[in-house]
């Protein structure tokens, strides 16, 4: 099968949920297979290969087709307000991330607590494919503990902005540089990967930054790290800084973006464009405050840039399970608008969208849900529903009518949807009853269990219905075209 094609989803005709209440829910049960909508059969191959004039241009600096993920749910994510991971949960998450295909798993400092140290050792012993890192302060005490845990690498960090130099650790650049050299040499002497990072890079002095990165690069660190610790950076600032740094160091460049101003994914992308090699993520973006670049959001961004690379490296159909695992562990709901796995990420509602999606999903989808093992849905039970969606739903119910009849039936669905939120079952009942009335040639009760009040409101609405095609038919049949 063409990698761009998805298997045709089965019709989901037995839905019970109320579409409108779904859409105001604000959170989901973590599934995109919601019963309020129906999975659709589309006419043409979804997402055929087609030249995209906006696709990334070839660029000798860019790593959008060659990046690595440092997954920090078990480090940055543990700093999320709600997070508590016991050993068992940490192991479960580490295994799931490893299976997904992340390149590195970063763990909380073993200096944080005795259990943190023991958990770090336990995860190192799992023999995962992903390399295991731990994250420490730029301090020999922490480094001595870290190298004893069995990790593959140590991520060292120290604040370089004036805020942090003054109010966090109180050390100047000379002290920072000397300590960094000592810690780096010590970790390297244990044949362990080493990364040196400046905290709050975007509020640090550029000359200080380039100077210390140049020094640690010469000593032979595996990576340097740039961190937008307070989430203040814009994509343009990120591009400029990483591009400049790329010209100064020869080692890899890791980047870490907080999401306080909503730029964490865009910043990660720009960093890769400018030559960064590694992106820090966490599942659902959990971390300090409102967190960092989310793993799923990064996957969404990168699959659009280079689908082949992303598909070949990561088991995307496991994303939803990992998010549910972490969401449960930290007791949060997956947001309704979450990248990829939000309950309505692939649901198309307005008639204009539905029609085009039914013809070709690329019209209103940049990501193919099937790449993530998910389905797309067309909503067909609202006042925004169009006759093309109703025709497609009728086909799923094995009902065939003329185009004029689909339109008239749609108008009846809209009339009811103008009165109250309607469920899939309501729309289905109307389609069935309308079809029956067409066959019998006489009106039937569209919704037998409607309340008297609803019936009266609906009758009012029906008076207002004006379908041009119906008017023409009625005129042709000798009526004045006015429904009474």
Ligand X SMILES: O=C(O)CCC(=O)C(=O)O
Burial class (CB in 10 A: 0-12, 13-18, 19+), 186: middle
Question: Among the candidate windows 71-79, 156-164, 167-175, 201-209, which touches Zn ion by CB under 5 A?
Answer: 71-79
* Binding partner selected for residue 197 from ligand ACO, ligand X, Zn ion, none, CB under the kind-specific 5 to 8 Å limit: ligand X
**168 near ligand ACO (CB under 6 A):** yes
Cβ nearer to ligand X, comparing 201 with 392 = 201
CA distance 290 to 472: 58
**18 near ligand X (CB under 6 A):** no
Pairing of strands 38-39, 377-378: antiparallel
Give the angle 269-275-280 at the CA atoms, nearest 5°. 50
Chain positions 288 to 327 lying near ligand ACO, rule: CB under 6 A, are 288
Chain positions 200 to 239 lying near ligand X, rule: CB under 6 A, are 225, 227, 229
CB 180 within 8 Å of CB 221: no
Render 285-307 in DSSP notation, one character per residue. Answer: G-SSTT-B-BHHHHHHHHHHH-H
Q: Which of 157, 279, 329, 374 binds ligand ACO (CB under 6 A)?
A: 157
Each as own residue / partner, the long-range contacts of residues 172-176 (CB below 8 Å, 24 or more positions apart, any chain) are: 173/208, 173/211, 173/212, 176/138, 176/212
Is 348 labeled as catalytic in the residue annotation?
no
Closest CB 263 distance from ligand X, rounded Å: 14
Chain positions 208 to 247 lying near ligand ACO, rule: CB under 6 A, are 229
Cβ nearer to ligand X, comparing 133 with 431 = 133
Which of 258, 223, 240 is closest to 68 using CA atoms?
223
Which of 135, 74, 71, 80 is closest to 104 using CA atoms?
71
Cβ nearer to ligand ACO, comparing 145 with 326 = 145
Sheet of 377-378: strand order equals 38-39, 377-378, 347-348
With CB under 6 A as the rule, give the number of residues binding ligand X.
Answer: 11
CA distance 467 to 471: 6
Q: Which of 258, 353, 355, 407 binds ligand X (CB under 6 A)?
A: 258
Chain positions 60 to 89 lying near ligand X, rule: CB under 6 A, are 76
Closest CB 163 distance from ligand X, rounded Å: 12
* Binding partner selected for residue 290 from ligand X, ligand ACO, Zn ion, none, CB under the kind-specific 5 to 8 Å limit: none
The CA–CA distances, whole Å, from 206 to 202, 246, 312 equal 8, 14, 37
Pairing of strands 377-378, 347-348: parallel
- Site residues, ligand ACO (CB under 6 A): 79, 109, 111-112, 137-139, 157-159, 168-170, 199, 229, 288
- Site residues, Zn ion (CB under 5 A): 76
Q: Which residues participate in catalysis according to the annotation?
A: 353
- Site residues, ligand X (CB under 6 A): 76, 135, 155, 157, 197, 199, 225, 227, 229, 256, 258
């Amino acid at each position: 099968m063409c990698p761009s094609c998805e298997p045709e989803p089965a019709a989901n005709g037995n839905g019970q949920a109320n579409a409108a209440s779904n859409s105001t829910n604000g959170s989901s049960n973590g599934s995109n297979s919601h019963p309020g909508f129906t999975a659709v059969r589309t006419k043409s191959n979804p997402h055929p290969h087609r030249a995209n004039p906006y696709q990334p241009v070839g660029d000798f600096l860019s790593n959008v087709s060659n990046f690595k993920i440092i997954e920090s749910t078990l480090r940055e994510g543990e700093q999320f307000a709600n997070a508590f991971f016991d050993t068992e949960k940490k192991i479960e998450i580490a295994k799931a991330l490893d299976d997904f295909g992340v390149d590195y798993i970063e763990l909380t400092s073993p200096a944080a607590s005795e259990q943190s140290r023991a958990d770090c050792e336990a995860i190192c012993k799992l023999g995962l494919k992903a390399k295991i890192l731990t994250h420490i302060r730029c301090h020999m005490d922490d480094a001595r503990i870290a190298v004893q845990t069995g990790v593959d690498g140590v991520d060292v960090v120290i604040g370089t902005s004036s805020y942090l130099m003054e109010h966090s650790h109180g050390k100047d650049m000379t002290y920072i540089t000397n300590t960094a050299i000592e810690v780096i040499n010590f970790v390297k002497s244990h044949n362990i990967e080493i990364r040196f990072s400046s905290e709050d890079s975007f509020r640090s002095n550029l000359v200080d930054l380039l100077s210390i990165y140049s020094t640690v690069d010469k000593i032979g660190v595996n990576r340097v790290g740039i961190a937008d610790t307070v989430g203040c950076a814009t994509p343009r600032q990120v591009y400029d800084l990483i591009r400049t740094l790329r010209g100064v160091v020869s080692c890899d460049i890791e980047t870490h973006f907080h999401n306080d101003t909503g730029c964490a994914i865009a910043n990660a992308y720009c960093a890769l464009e400018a030559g960064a090699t590694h992106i820090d993520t966490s599942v659902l973006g959990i971390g300090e405050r409102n967190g960092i670049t989310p793993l799923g959001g990064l996957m969404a961004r990168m699959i659009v840039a280079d689908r082949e690379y992303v598909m070949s490296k990561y088991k995307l159909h496991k994303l939803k399970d990992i998010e549910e695992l972490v969401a449960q562990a930290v007791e949060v709901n997956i947001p309704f608008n979450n990248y990829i796995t939000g309950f309505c990420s692939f649901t198309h509602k307005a008639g204009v969208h539905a029609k085009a999606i039914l013809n070709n999903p690329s019209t209103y989808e940049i990501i193919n849900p099937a790449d993530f093992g998910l389905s797309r849905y067309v909503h067909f039970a609202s006042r925004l529903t169009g006759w093309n969606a109703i025709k497609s739903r009728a086909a799923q119910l094995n009902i065939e009518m003329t185009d004029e009849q689909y339109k008239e039936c749609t108008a009846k669905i809209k009339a009811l949807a103008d009165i109250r939120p309607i469920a899939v079952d309501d729309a289905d009942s109307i389609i069935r009853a309308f079809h029956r009335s067409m066959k019998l040639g006489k009106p039937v009760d569209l919704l037998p269990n409607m309340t008297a009040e609803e019936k009266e409101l609906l009758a009012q609405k029906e008076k207002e219905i004006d379908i041009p095609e119906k008017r023409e038919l009625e005129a042709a049949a000798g009526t004045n075209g006015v429904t009474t």
